[in-house]
Each structure stands twice: as C-alpha cells, then as structure tokens.
Amino acid sequence: MGWMADETGLDKGPANHVPLTPLSHLRRAADVFAQREALVHGDMRLNYAQLYQRVSRLASALAARGIKPGDVVATLMPNIPAHVEAHWGVPAAGAVLNTINVRLDVETVAYILGHGGAKILLCDSAFVDLAEEACKQMEGPAPEIIEAPDPVSGITATGRHVTYEDLLASGDADFDWIMPQDEWESLALNYTSGTTGRPKGVVYSHRGAYLLTMGTGVAWHMPLFARLLTIVPLFHCNNWHHSWLMPMVGGTVVCLRDITAKGIYDAIADEKVTHFGGAPIVLNTIVNASDDERREFDHVVQVYTAGAPPPAATLLAIEKLGFVVTQVYGLTETYGHVTECLWDDDKWGHLEGEERAAIKARTGVLMPMMEDITVMDPETMTPVPRDGETLGEIMIRGNAVMKGYYRNPQATAEAFEGGYFHSGDIAFQHPDGYIKITDRAKDIIISGGENVSSVEVEGALMHHPAVLLAAVVARPDDKWGEVPCAFVELKPGQEATEEELIAFCRQRLAGFKTPKKVVFQELPKTSTGKIQKFVLREMAKKL
C-alpha cells in the first residue's frame, strides 16, 4: 500500500532517515545559536555553546558511572538549571529520565524509585533528606544520590554526597552523545498522581516528544528568540516539553524556583519573558497580586493554561493586564497539552466580556501533532452528536500518546481499548467541533439522577468578588444521593457568608446545582497548582 511499482534503491539510510528526538534541537542550537542566551537563573547566564558543553559533561559523567542506554536516571528537583540540563544530559547518555514530584511523600518517592529502577538520583540539596529516607524505604538497590545546590536561591550543599558541579567536572565536554537508533526508544518516565492507588509510570518516546515540541511551536506561534518562564514544573510532563522546544527557536529558558506573583512579574519586567504555561491558579495569582508585587511591562505575554477551565472572571481580568491566555488540555499520558482553544478572530473578535471568556474557556480542538481527539460514548465507542450538550468521554489518538504504562500491560490495554486513549474526562462537542470539558468522570456529581458539573458550579462561585478560589465536590446525601459541596478560599481582607454564596449561586444556577454546603478554608493544592479534589471529597464525606 502506497508503494510505487519499482522502489529499488529507495531504502531508508543515514542520509535520509534520522530517528526523531528533541536532542536534535539542542545539537542544532549549539551551532546556529551558539552565543545566544539559553538558560538564566538569577545572575547565572549560559549561552547555547556553554549549555551544550555542560550537557555533554553530564552525559559523559553518567556514562562513566555505569549508566547504559535504557537505564533510568531520576531527578528530585524544582525548576533550577541543573534540572533543565538533566533533560538533555540524561537522554544524551542514552538513559531514560524519570522526574519525580518534589512534593510527594516519602513512601510514594520510595515506590517510584523502586518501580522505575533508577540507578542515579539527581537531587536538589533542599530535598536530600527526602531522597535519603526514600532510598531507605524503597525495594531493590538504592540509586546513588548526586546533590545539586542552588546558590542563587541560598540553597547550599549538605556535604553528604557528590555535588552536581563535581559530577560535571569529571565529564568530557566533547562526549559523543548517544542518540537513539530507533525513535520509539524510551526518553522519559513520568508517574501519574496516584490519587487512587499506586501511581502508574507513563513512558514517553523520543518520537512523541519531538513531535510535541514541533506541534507546540506551530500552535503557539513561537517566534525566534522567545523567552520562556518555567512555571510548569520540570517534573510535570517535563515542563509540558517547553524546555525541550526552546532551542528550536534559539529561545531562553528562565528558571523560577518559587512560583510567586512577585517572581512572575519580576521575570516579565526584568528578563522580558514572552511565554509561560501554568494552571488557572497561576492566573489567579497574577490577577490578585498586590501593588508592591506588580511590575510594569511593555510587551504581550503569551500564556498556556491547563487544568480546570479558568473562570470567566479570571480570564477577563488577566487580559487587561497584558496577557493573552490560551486554554489547552492534556494529561500525563499525552506528554502534556494536546488540544488548544484555537482563537478565530473572524468569528469571535467582536465578542466582549463574558461571551468572549466563554469561548476562550473551551477545551478546544486537537493540536497539529495529533490525529484525532473527539468525544465518544465509552460503551459503544461511537462519537456523540456535536450538539453542544450530549456528554461523552474525550478519546485521543495521535503521536503524543504515551507508549504505555511501565510494567503494567493490563492497565495499558485498558487505556487503549478500541484504538483510542481513554482520558476519563467528560465533555461535549460544539457544532464547530470545539470540545468543552465538563468534568473528570470521578468529579461529576449525581444529584437525584441529574448530573452536576463541578466546573460549572465553581465558575459561578468565582464570579463573586470576595472569592479567590473555589472547588466543588460531591457530598453524600441520604435523599439525593449526592449534593454539591463547595470549598472556598476568600481573597485577603474579603468576607462572605455561606448563605450569601449559596444565594449568589442560586441566581446563576438551577436549584439542584446550587451548593448545599460552603466550607471556608485554604484549598489543598498539588505542586503544579491543581486543587486536590480527592482530599476535599474525603473531607466532604465527614461533614
């Protein structure tokens, strides 16, 4: 199929077929953009020639310590330069990069180290105690710990392990990178959040990562010499692959260890940051920054936001501050974002206020590297009508879908049943094909037989001027089965009562969708800023 009658001599070879890998971006940038700024952290500056040399030293040093192609090297680091370098240096040694969330408990870190089989653990000095305790508790041989202090942030070495800089000093700057022979070779191992049982190890290929960087560059209109702020953690879908993308355009990665409003505004004003990704809570942080945290800037900042759709009130507020926000959607299993709310100015440019925000909050359409993303009935695997109301499950097929779950073929087969990846997210499709997510399957509230979208209720609450954050979960109810229960975090200095917020929602929602209980407290969040609804569900059960 697809072959001509005579293809003699038209075989693949080294001249016309090179395995796809994001490593190629940095090898090119080290030549084409050698003197351009590549990596920034405070007063630390590296150009592409320097970054390439350091990455080569890291790959060489890992190989000298016995790391072979296919071995796993783990990291336990925030967004610091060593973590960016590891994203290149570990695969340049032929190894698989396993980035571990620094907010996890000891038991979970121990499980990931044991399950993934890490041989070496690159660890920020602030997390050495966590790493050491996890190594004691894990099953199997413990990895060697290499610790990376962060002097820019005042984090000094413990003195208990070889330091990252000493490791690099032992390496060869002229090391010949071990490039993949097959683009389906494994590049990265990322573990799911594990909110329901043990986390699963999601395996990325060199091919998928390369195509995600290319698709993102096109979709985000990424210009030459863009400047990216690392708000999305490097341990979360590998920073949505944004750091792997930047050498393609000769761009600069600006590290931000602690995600604060002041840190974001300072980076935009001082480092001329043009792009970043982040959860909706990051947008909220920017919008609600105090006067002494804000900085003036004279350029537009492009933002990808993912997670629950940003409330209309947040979108309206942040656009006035000089940010252009694009809603994207994806999962760990899809390398990060795979849909975007592609804005069409011809169709929607005239819209203002909440009408404009409602369009921008859509989950969107598939990005260029994907083949098919649609909403289906999970039982019949047939597409639901594109009527803007019929619910189904988001199904995904394309080049940025994981290879599978590491050492878990049964879970992999279940996730890929019917030839699509089953996202577990509930959505509908508009007539124009744009998807609108309504909830995670586990977050849908079924009250008296009616489905209640927690996202819809949260959106109503966020319109209240005193509300900073809102999360809505199911609370067991003897009469209705489940009822909406709202957990609300108020803005500093603001006040509101339970009765006031319930009445406020009743003006905007059907009665059965209105929260029956409102709890005021700080909301539990993951390291990426997502609200931990599983914690709130347990709290709601006990109310």
What pLDDT was estimated at residue 528?
A: 62
CA-CA-CA-CA dihedral for 532, 534, 535, 541, to nearest 10: 140
What pLDDT was estimated at residue 443?
A: 80
What pLDDT was estimated at residue 512?
A: 80
Q: 3-class DSSP state for residue 438?
A: strand
Domain 48-204: homologous superfamily in CATH: ANL, N-terminal domain (3.40.50.12780)
What pLDDT was estimated at residue 449?
A: 58
Q: Where in the chain is the domain with CATH 3.30.300.30?
A: 444-542
Q: Where are the alpha helices (DSSP H) in 42-173?
A: 48-64, 81-92, 106-116, 128-137, 164-169
Q: Where in the chain is the domain with CATH 3.40.50.12780?
A: 48-204, 259-441
CATH of domain 259-441: 3.40.50.12780
What pLDDT was estimated at residue 448?
A: 67
What pLDDT was estimated at residue 197?
A: 67
What pLDDT was estimated at residue 308?
A: 66
How many C-beta atoms surround the C-beta of residue 314 within 10 A? 24
What pLDDT was estimated at residue 195?
A: 47
C-alpha to C-alpha distance for 352 and 359, rounded to whole angstroms: 10
CATH class as words, domain 444-542? alpha beta
Element (H, E) at 409: helix 409-415
What pLDDT was estimated at residue 361?
A: 87
What pLDDT was estimated at residue 509?
A: 83
What pLDDT was estimated at residue 105?
A: 84
- In the chain (543 residues long), the average pLDDT of successive 10-residue segments reads 93 97 98 98 98 98 98 98 98 98 90 98 98 97 98 98 98 98 98 75 98 98 98 96 98 97 98 94 91 96 85 84 95 96 95 89 95 97 96 97 98 97 95 90 73 83 93 86 92 94 90 91 80 90 89
C-alpha to C-alpha distance for 440 and 442, rounded to whole angstroms: 5
| 65: phi then psi, degrees, rounded to nearest 5 | -90, 10
Q: pTM of this prediction? A: 0.87
What pLDDT was estimated at residue 438?
A: 84
